[in-house]
Amino acid sequence: MFGFFKKGLQKTAEAMKSVAPQKRKTIPKDELEDILLEADVEYDLIEIMMRELYEDEVKREQLESKLLATLAWANYEKPEYEKPFVDLVIGVNGAGKTTTIAKLTQRYLNEGSRVLLGASDTFRAAAIEQLTRWADRLGVPIVSSRQGHDPSAVAYDAIESAKAKGLEHVIIDTAGRLHTQTNLSEELKKIVRICGKAHEGAPHRKILIIDGTQGNSAIAQAKAFNDIIDVDGIIITKLDGTAKGGSLFSIAYALRLPIFFVGVGEKPEDLVPFDKYEFVSDFLDPIFEMDENALAQTGIDFNRLDDAQRKKLAEVMRADGFEMLSKHFVRDMGSWKEYRLNVNETGSAIEIVDKEGNILKMYTSDTVSD
């Protein structure tokens, strides 16, 4: 197992294990309901999933496919754009906007891109200072103004500055709270409008930050933000600090929006690209045993590699010029392009596939056995 979400799901796993201490191959429906409720999957969604499971004893694969279906909006296609690519970050106060901007910046820097930050949360002086500290720490430029200044003007200047410098990315911070809800709504709309005036197509990605510790109670508030400006996707923060990891399914399902990343800590590297297959797999691991039958025919099941096999595979790929980012993605170390890792139907081979579905590389069982 890859376990990229294990750290973030630790408390959720403990909560589920408090109801179901033993891992099993199958779990009766009524028990499963309790387990999912304990993880803060919303009751209505549990009902929908249970209705579609016809046998009383539920297998891992059956629940897996139902959970994956709730994440059907998990795909996002980057629009065509001229640089800089502009991210606009919104969400209620304390959700983790500023911290997440630091994490996104770190990711872009790791990819070799240059980033500029725009401090459009001008509501509090402390907010400007906090973003400035991150900019200093990460060594990136920032455009800011004094408290109370027009946030749209800051966004405009930030984009202009990045254009002049030829930078690849701009990330704009916003206020989560203003004097009134109407003020906030008007201000966000204006920032979006002005970004578009500064640069065609900007903001290219409007990201809603949701505090994961709020679980399902964040849904209504998230819908309100989505009504103000059409959000492109969400980032769920503080997953590490909550037992409500299951709410991620209900949030994604209710909002019909993709999840871009999940925050699993306070450090710049604590941002995990959301991969629905990995997330569901890590979510189910504490309660379900693996079904070993799948292995029998081919010797190695690429869906279920153990640590040693995974390490071997990563080494072989690295030698071929691909860095393994997760169970489902690799990056070409030359071009920095990301490709999907696809397991073939029988589970007997893994392929590196481009967007058009062309297979760039294929690895079979001899790759990972000694």
User: What residue ranges bind ligand GTP (CB under 6 A)?
Assistant: 91, 93-99, 121, 127, 176, 237-238, 240-241, 263-266, 270
Give the bridge partners for 24, in sequence order. Answer: 288
Least distance from Mg ion to the Cβ atom of residue 210, Å? 14
- DSSP calls for 24-81: BSEEEHHHHHHHHHHTT--HHHHHHHHHT--SSEEEHHHHHHHHHHHTTT----PPP-
Of 102, 61, 349, 338, nearest to 235 (Cα)? 102
Least distance from Mg ion to the Cβ atom of residue 100, Å? 9
Q: Does 122 bind Mg ion (CB under 5 A)?
A: no
Nearer to Mg ion, 68 or 178 (CB): 178
Least distance from ligand GTP to the Cβ atom of residue 96, Å? 3
Least distance from Mg ion to the Cβ atom of residue 127, Å? 5
Residue 307 CB burial class (10 angstroms; 0-12, 13-18, ≥19): exposed
Q: Does 98 bind Mg ion (CB under 5 A)?
A: yes
Q: Which residues contact 29 (CB under 8 A, 6 or more apart)?
A: 50, 53, 56, 57, 58
At 301, phi and psi to the nearest 5?
-105, 115
Nearer to ligand GTP, 265 or 286 (CB): 265
Which of the listed partners (Mg ion, ligand GTP, none) does 268 bind, with a CB threshold of 5 to 8 Å by partner kind? none
Encoding tokens for residue 7? 């750290």
Which of the listed partners (ligand GTP, Mg ion, none) does 94 bind, with a CB threshold of 5 to 8 Å by partner kind? ligand GTP
Nearer to ligand GTP, 42 or 121 (CB): 121
Which of the listed partners (Mg ion, ligand GTP, none) does 93 bind, with a CB threshold of 5 to 8 Å by partner kind? ligand GTP
Which of the listed partners (ligand GTP, Mg ion, none) does 347 bind, with a CB threshold of 5 to 8 Å by partner kind? none
Which of the listed partners (Mg ion, ligand GTP, none) does 60 bind, with a CB threshold of 5 to 8 Å by partner kind? none
Nearer to Mg ion, 97 or 199 (CB): 97
Provide the binding-site residues for Mg ion, judged by CB under 5 A.
97-98, 127
